[in-house]
Structure 1
Amino acid sequence: MTMTSVAKRNWQALTESLRAAGERRLVLVEGEPDWCRSWVSGCLETLDASQALWVGRAEDAELAGLTGIASKQFKRWLGRETSVLVWDGWQGNPPDGVAALSGTLQAGGLWFWLMPPLEDWGTFSDPDYVRTGLDQAEHHAFATRMAGVLAADEDVIRVQQGHEEAPVLPLLKPGSSVFELATTPEQAQLVSQLVRFGLGRRRRPLVVTADRGRGKSAALGIAAAELLLAGRQRVLVTSPAVDNLTSFFRHAAETLGERLAERRDDALVMEGGASIRYLPVQDLLADKPDAEVVMVDEAAGVPAHWLREVLLGWPRVAFASTVHGYEGTGRGFAIRFRQVLDRETPQWQSVSLHEPVRWAAGDPLERLVSDLFLLSANSPKVISPAVEDVVVERWHPAKASEQALSEAFGLLVDAHYRTTPADLRQWLDDPGAQSWRAVVNGVTVGVLWASVEGGLAPELAEQVARGERRPRGHMLAQSLATHGGFPEAAVQRTLRVVRVAVSEEHRHLGIGKQLVAKARHACKEQGLDGLGTSFGGESGLLAFWQACGLRVVRLGLRQETSTGEFPVQMLCGLSEVGGQLTQGLRERFAKHWPVLVPRHWPDLAPDLLAAVGADLPASARLDAGDLRDLLNFSEGYRGFELTLPVLRQLEQCSGVMAWLQEQSDLALWCRMVTQGWSWDEVRYAGLCTGQKEGEKGLRTLVRELLKNGPEL
């Protein structure tokens, strides 16, 4: 599509004025898909597309002469920069990807978003919906809300089919100075602090948090290079992907200058051999190479259990994370990881960056993206009330005011390790979603988000149980049908609690339990068969759900990517068939528990292992021979290995694991009996000095259990 010379000059003048002001803009291209692609291709001919990226179909990117990626590949481009970003929304709009790649745009850059007219967004069948089961919704509140935000923003440039010749381009008043990329005082101070940290005392980790565009990756790279120049021999850096470290390595190389002997995408080597090298987190932890300093960039994208291993594995570790980033995990990371830091390295340090480096303060695009995806959503801060001041009510986030929605979403961000813009879309658009909130004087202090699952036809449920079919959605229902072995779990209708969050000031007042109680009451009113949940295994959360009346029905075999925790699934049957299903799942899982534990959960924390075991129904009874063996073991006449089969039966008896939970040698029992560790392994873990002392501890436990434990 040709563009007039006047129009070309206007677009060129716009980018020049934006560059001078240090700002960026969204250009919303509204029309039929072929027209949108044709128009933007013509416009690109007038712009500097040397660092342009086209997100969409490969053939469209090739026709436009640009580098192209599919929307699902967005993480490959993090850590890089773009001068122009074309996002073909007709090919799908995963919120995490849209939010992420907008942050790659340089000052003076334009983001072209190809979409239907704004008034059609609520009914637009986004191709990305199929992936999450949202294609079943007739109306999309998330897209409608985004359209409203865009329509109200005067800084959004709208190009509409039929009116494309005269889009209203902003007139930027020339400032007193021209924006230049330069190290800010904050960034320079961070570099100095990182160097002091890298040359300083051990076990004083540094945690850097900042919004995107604040130059934290660049600061890490500069500091890494200065550490080599100061005499350090090996600095290692890790991140969710090496592509995220383009800025890190570029700034490190520029700092080393002529001292650099070898330069690769994942390594810099100085004359004499001192080096900065990238390793994937898994390889870093598997190989445990020596290094004076380890840096973790985009730490919020790394599973929490790996972060802890890195923290404890090297003498000086620096973590950097985006606070309000695409992954939405920055605050969750800060809150959850702070507990680990306080416990393991109480002398850790924290530093934050506030002033943007890659664009000017007050950049309209940064504000717009934050509004679109609630990246800056904050939970409210109010004085703790008395329990009677709390009102728990049914709530519809799609109909809520911006302030109420932001407060509620802020609670989810604070309470969970990984809450993303995609979660916001799922919450607003899922046709099966139901929500409740706890309110104090009009302020949201707690929120529960749930979704109705199941209701599949019996034939389909059988196929799901056999692993032949996997319909979108129905996470808990499908898991219990497939892995639990009960097809009826997919036939019955269950309300799964997706998230429950209470503000920090209002915890331990029973508000979470009130929210769950409301959801449970609604299940009965709607004739649902059960209330369930699935969460990353942690003993405190397990105790909360037990207090809400739910019981363990399954423990996942694989760790969750985000937290590294094994998912615990719990259920409460509310109808007759729901109760039968819950009981059947629990009895079957209890039967399989002794075999599964040493194979799949050999390193599970003893407190969680015992809590799950204590929750399960009894699956064994002891006979006279078993009791004789236990008595002989407790008195020191019978060896551990010969008694182990009976000890494993013993812990499956009613009340035994609950009794063991209260004993000081619980960890020794779990490691040796339940999880099948060797004596060398428990000795290395510090649970005993050797087999003799370990057996003595177990004999004492059994003797006390026979005397003061539950009736066998």
Structure 2
Amino acid sequence: MMNGDTVASDPISTLLSLHAMAQRDYVRIPVFVSGDQNFLSLLLNALPNITLVSDDWDFPDRLFWRQAKQLLGQETHTLALDVRQHIDVEKICAISGCIKGGELLLFLVGDGDEPQKNESLFRDRFLSFASHANAATICQSGFISMPTLTLSDTREILPRLDTVTTPDQVKAIDAIERVLSGHRRRPALLVADRGRGKSSTMGMAAASIMHCSKKRIVVTSPSVANVDTLFQHAERQSSLQNTPLLRKNKYGYVAENGSELLFVAPDALLQETPECDLLMIDEAAAIPLPMLGQILKCYSRIVFSSTEHGYEGTGRAFSTRFRSMLDAKAKGWKEIRLNAPVRWAENDPLEAWLFATFLFDAEPYLPLVITDVVIREISNSELSADEGLLKQVFSLLVSAHYQTSPNDLVQLLDGENQSVLVAFRGDVAVGVALAQREGGFDEALAKEVVSGKRRLRGHLLAQSLATHTGTLDALTDSLLRITRVAVLPSCRQQGIGHALIASVEQIAKRSDITIVGTSFGANSELWQFWSSMGYLPARLGVQRDAASGTYSLQLIKPLACSLEWIGDLHSLFSTNFPHQLNEQFSTIEPTLVAQLLFSSIDIKPPSEQMLKQVALFANGALGYDLVTGSLWVWFVHWLATRDDPETDQMQCCALIMRVLQRRSWKEVAEVFGYQGRKDTEASIRHWVATQLPTNEKEIE
């Protein structure tokens, strides 16, 4: 029993006792409630201020599951989640952070007689955590279990911790103020798990800065709703300082001394670059890294906040990459970590339960000895039965991928037509690859999909290739899509990733599958890896990924030489990509452009007359403006047919930006450090001359 408490045996008394415990210790407790509708209603009506999330139950303060994220940015009392029919794990993890200390999280699991659509290993595992040390269970059958975790008595528990500034927050506020008063280009990064008061800290710091002198502070975040807490605490702090902020509009405040606190969306921030004394970026992990890089370039005094609640959203992988960016672009940056919770007390039972249930705390193991790598296929049931193995495999996915969500845990356990290959050194998992079977449909269904009349669930690559090219074979042939590849960081560059992919290809061959494919956010490193194994580009999406800021590249590899349609798709890519560079892909890195054009097929060579014009340009006889078409045809052909796929020469990249992507002379000059158009054109001209055959250079 928690802290040795005793409770009455009837369900309502038990629930009220749990609520009293939570209020006394300012913590949150997960409670599983099992029974029929009348029993569940009886318990829900026993507590005040309950919010129910359910698709099948009319109840005061009820939200449908699709509306659940409306709770984000708010603070709720007891929350009841109806999980009898389905478990929306992403929403559970998101909205659980809205529950304040002193309240309960009720999981309504029914009486076990509800029909389930499919058997679910994930659901079985989820329900097993009702017996976790931090959870309580109340059953209509009479079974009752209470949390066994003993809370720490080492600190005084206050009625509302979020009205008190913690020592961590005091240090953070000081660090934020030093960003404004200290040397330029020394940003601060506030890092914490959820509930530690990052947004409130930034709000209090903003109010303090605005109180001392006239300053303009701009706040950006993926959504204006995300900064409600920041604004509320700025408003409250300014009232305590007797310098109240006046609400200017939905997006900002103004103080009596002329100070301003404004919200500006990230895209508008880069387009309009409004002037400010300090820029605050709340939930930086939800903004694409390339966009953050541009913001770093435009603003010299910045405070970032990032949630590192296990793997949720983009937390851990984001922070690793973002720190590397800060090291490169702002060497004097400082990290401030907030450890003490403010919305609930230390040792919160619900927080510990969430970490265990959804593997927020999963960390990769390190092999103690270097042994040969053994790869074997693991079944869903084996993962479900071995919690240690599940943690190892999932931790690898978390550490390697930019976006890992709780739904990935569901997919790992319940994914249909899925292959899981794990690379072991001894008993330690050092690499994992996931692959999904797609396609294999009849021609009639394939035609309906291509014509837009049908959509197929779970066949992302096959369907995308078919609908964007009109190729029915992409749906009628069977395809194995590699969805994830992850290798322990300390074991990379040792051939483990290649070995995993080779094993996936062997599984495909044994299953008479003749195509293997994948898709990922395109970058030079990943392209080098996949192209070295014979994978060909088939399609590049025209919309950037919201989190990584990259374009999705789809690759395919035929395992049989008779598949002509694979070559047709590669040919379509080779035809369209060069013409998309000056519009859809005008901002892709030039080195990646060169890599994607390498070995393109059906690229027409320049005519003899075009070559003469390019040679005249190289010799200085003709200016750039007179040879743009000939130069374009020659350059695309040169990139497609060169011997080496890697091109990092500055002049070549400058030519890609100017000739293929049509970026301005001014921009090209700024990127590569030229003095202006004349200097840029002279450098490009010299480089072109070095690439032409000797007989072409001698044209007079």
- Normalised TM-score (structure 1): 0.89
**Structure 1 residues 289 and 147 mapped into 2: Cα distance closer, same or farther (>3 Å)?**
same
Q: Within 5 Å, which residues of 2 pair with 1:38-77?
A: 38-49=38-49, 52-57=50-55, 60=57, 64-66=59-61, 68-77=62-71
| Structure 2 equivalent of residue 269 of structure 1 | 254
Is 2:305 aligned against 1:311?
A: no
**Structure 1 residues 156 and 630 mapped into 2: Cα distance closer, same or farther (>3 Å)?**
same
The CA deviation string for residues 412-431 of structure 1, in whole angstroms up to 9 with x for no partner, is 11211111101111222111
Higher mean C-alpha displacement, 685-694 vs 80-89: 685-694
| Structure 1 equivalent of residue 29 of structure 2 | 25
Task: Give the SS at the match of 1:365.
Answer: helix
Q: Distance in 2 between matches of 1:706 and 1:604?
A: 26
Task: Give the SS at the match of 2:81.
Answer: strand
How far apart are 1:46 and its partner, in Å? 3.3
8 Å CA contact retained: 1:207, 1:320: yes
How far apart are 1:560 and its partner, in Å? 1.0
| Structure 1 equivalent of residue 228 of structure 2 | 246
8 Å CA contact retained: 2:134, 2:147: yes
Is 2:16 aligned against 1:12?
A: yes
Is 2:597 aligned against 1:613?
A: yes
Q: Distance in 2 between matches of 1:268 and 1:660?
A: 51
Is 2:546 aligned against 1:561?
A: yes
Q: Distance in 2 between matches of 1:276 and 1:662?
A: 44
How far apart are 1:92 and its partner, in Å? 4.0
Q: Distance in 2 between matches of 1:56 and 1:464?
A: 33
| Structure 2 equivalent of residue 146 of structure 1 | 126
Q: Distance in 1 between matches of 2:460 and 2:23?
A: 47
**Structure 1 residues 410 and 636 mapped into 2: Cα distance closer, same or farther (>3 Å)?**
same
Q: Distance in 1 between matches of 2:635 and 2:432?
A: 38
**Structure 1 residues 81 and 646 mapped into 2: Cα distance closer, same or farther (>3 Å)?**
same
**1:676 counterpart (662, 668, 672):** 662
8 Å CA contact retained: 2:87, 2:123: no
Higher mean C-alpha displacement, 659-668 vs 464-473: 659-668
| Structure 1 equivalent of residue 579 of structure 2 | 595
Is 2:563 aligned against 1:584?
A: no
Q: Aligned AA for 2:615?
A: L
* RMSD of equivalent CA atoms: 2.8
8 Å CA contact retained: 1:656, 1:709: no
8 Å CA contact retained: 1:528, 1:575: no
Q: Distance in 2 between matches of 1:14 and 1:507?
A: 48
**Structure 1 residues 47 and 515 mapped into 2: Cα distance closer, same or farther (>3 Å)?**
same
For structure 2, the 5+ residue unaligned runs are 1-7
How far apart are 1:306 and its partner, in Å? 2.1
Q: Distance in 2 between matches of 1:229 and 1:705?
A: 63
Q: Distance in 1 between matches of 2:236 and 2:369?
A: 52
Q: Distance in 2 between matches of 1:361 and 1:103?
A: 14
How far apart are 1:576 and its partner, in Å? 3.8
Q: Aligned AA for 2:418?
A: A
How far apart are 1:434 and its partner, in Å? 0.7
| Structure 2 equivalent of residue 191 of structure 1 | 173
Q: Within 5 Å, which residues of 2 pair with 1:429-444?
A: 429-444=414-429
Q: Distance in 1 between matches of 2:238 and 2:550?
A: 40
| Structure 1 equivalent of residue 627 of structure 2 | 643
Q: Distance in 2 between matches of 1:486 and 1:159?
A: 55
8 Å CA contact retained: 2:134, 2:352: no
Q: Distance in 2 between matches of 1:330 and 1:173?
A: 29
Q: Within 5 Å, which residues of 2 pair with 1:481-630?
A: 481-577=466-562, 579-630=563-614
Q: Distance in 2 between matches of 1:54 and 1:307?
A: 37
| Structure 2 equivalent of residue 696 of structure 1 | 682
| Structure 2 equivalent of residue 203 of structure 1 | 185
| Structure 2 equivalent of residue 292 of structure 1 | 277
How far apart are 1:449 and its partner, in Å? 1.3
Aligned residue-pair number: 678
**1:220 counterpart (189, 192, 202):** 202
Is 2:459 aligned against 1:474?
A: yes
How far apart are 1:535 and its partner, in Å? 0.5
- Normalised TM-score (structure 2): 0.90
Higher mean C-alpha displacement, 246-255 vs 594-603: 246-255
| Structure 1 equivalent of residue 358 of structure 2 | 373
The CA deviation string for residues 630-674 of structure 1, in whole angstroms up to 9 with x for no partner, is 222222223323322222222332524957825331221111111
Q: Distance in 2 between matches of 1:237 and 1:611?
A: 38
How far apart are 1:534 and its partner, in Å? 0.4
**1:234 counterpart (213, 216, 221):** 216
The CA deviation string for residues 146-184 of structure 1, in whole angstroms up to 9 with x for no partner, is 12222x314433233454xx7455699896854441333
Is 2:100 aligned against 1:102?
A: no
Is 2:649 aligned against 1:663?
A: yes
Task: Give the SS at the match of 1:473.
Answer: coil
| Structure 2 equivalent of residue 391 of structure 1 | 374
How far apart are 1:102 and its partner, in Å? 1.3
Q: Aligned AA for 1:475?
A: L
**2:136 counterpart (132, 137, 157):** 157
Is 2:119 aligned against 1:124?
A: no
The CA deviation string for residues 128-156 of structure 1, in whole angstroms up to 9 with x for no partner, is xxxxxxxxxx4322112212222x31443
Task: Give the SS at the match of 1:469.
Answer: coil
Q: Aligned AA for 2:52?
A: W
The CA deviation string for residues 491-523 of structure 1, in whole angstroms up to 9 with x for no partner, is 221111111111111111111111111111111
Q: Distance in 2 between matches of 1:285 and 1:697?
A: 30
Q: Aligned AA for 1:569?
A: Q
How far apart are 1:31 and its partner, in Å? 3.9
Q: Distance in 2 between matches of 1:306 and 1:425?
A: 31
Higher mean C-alpha displacement, 38-47 vs 403-412: 38-47
| Identical-residue share of aligned pairs (%) | 31
Higher mean C-alpha displacement, 348-357 vs 676-685: 676-685
Q: Distance in 1 between matches of 2:646 and 2:423?
A: 37
8 Å CA contact retained: 1:650, 1:656: no
| Structure 2 equivalent of residue 134 of structure 1 | none
Task: Give the SS at the match of 1:83.
Answer: coil
How far apart are 1:343 and its partner, in Å? 1.5
Q: Within 5 Å, which residues of 2 pair with 1:445-464?
A: 445-464=430-449
8 Å CA contact retained: 1:14, 1:170: no
Task: Give the SS at the match of 1:695.
Answer: helix
8 Å CA contact retained: 2:11, 2:139: no
**Structure 1 residues 630 and 168 mapped into 2: Cα distance closer, same or farther (>3 Å)?**
closer
**Structure 1 residues 320 and 5 mapped into 2: Cα distance closer, same or farther (>3 Å)?**
same
How far apart are 1:265 and its partner, in Å? 5.5
**Structure 1 residues 44 and 629 mapped into 2: Cα distance closer, same or farther (>3 Å)?**
same
| Structure 2 equivalent of residue 83 of structure 1 | 77
Task: Give the SS at the match of 1:46.
Answer: coil
Task: Give the SS at the match of 2:519.
Answer: strand
Higher mean C-alpha displacement, 270-279 vs 430-439: 270-279
Q: Aligned AA for 1:124?
A: Q
| Structure 2 equivalent of residue 133 of structure 1 | none
**1:631 counterpart (587, 597, 615):** 615
Q: Aligned AA for 2:597?
A: G
Task: Give the SS at the match of 1:218.
Answer: helix
**Structure 1 residues 290 and 39 mapped into 2: Cα distance closer, same or farther (>3 Å)?**
farther
Higher mean C-alpha displacement, 463-472 vs 548-557: 463-472
8 Å CA contact retained: 1:142, 1:425: yes
Q: Aligned AA for 2:128?
A: G
Task: Give the SS at the match of 1:594.
Answer: helix
